[in-house]
Amino acid sequence: MATPALGWNPRVAIRHLRAVDPPLARAIDAGGPFELPLRSTASIFGALLESIIYQQLSGKAAATIHGRVCSLFPRGRTGPTPQQILGASDEALRGAGVSRPKLLALRDLARRAADGSLPSLRSARRMEDEALIERLIEVRGVGRWTAEMLLIFRLGRPDVLPVDDLGIRNGYASVFRKRGRPTREELEARGERWRPYRTVASLYLWRAAERRRPERS
């Protein structure tokens, strides 16, 4: 039975991964119960605005800046609208802690949302993964990794493998007992056997990386 919020069944995914990859099956055993907490942003615009602000910052610092940006506008708790970002002065946004490159990215994001070139949440849900990623990375400051995180943690897509993510690569090295991190090609090739549930494999690779961290220190 599919999990309603996801639209697919994690138990089926885990059974598949166990069957096709024994080392990953051991990582699943060590990683514990499946969890994929979905974020609840009301729009693709809101999700990307938050992602842009959070880039290259600690969670605490980014949350503070995001809160300051939201507080610039009426009813800011629900997040600003594209029109509000376009109408805000550079001084106000910079005063909230937004860096110059992120300011330019937020302006571009807001323009695309306002003119309809950024997909709505409803239309994003109907788009194939790669088509949606290609649309999202047209936004200034949004790379493939940011788009993949949105697909996983906002839309709950089951078959996303962020091959450039450091945690994924560290987790892979741990699970498959590699001395160094895998190449993109090696990770992509192994990931072919995980389809159509590469998201679930990714979540367990992240957990493996977290377990490995204390051992290194």
* Cis before 196? omega within 30: yes
Question: Do residues 61 and 69 lie in contact, with contact meaning Cβ atoms separated by under 8 Å?
Answer: no
Cα four-point dihedral sign 165, 166, 167, 173: positive
Query: Taking CA 157 as the corner, what is the angle to CA 189 and CA 49, rounded to the nearest 5 degrees?
Result: 110
Q: Pick the catalytic residue: 21, 115, 129, 165?
A: 165
Closest CA to 72 of 40, 95, 42: 95
Which residue matches tokens 């990770």?
A: 187
Is residue 165 part of the annotated active site? The answer reads: yes
Cα distance between residue 17 and residue 81, in whole Å? 41
Task: Tell me 42's DSSP state.
Answer: S
Which residue matches tokens 């009813």?
A: 75
Q: What Rg, from alpha-carbon coordinates, does the chain have?
A: 19
Kindly tell me the number of DSSP H helices and DSSP E strands found in the chain: 13, 0
Cα distance between residue 192 and residue 44, in whole Å? 28
Active site residues: 165
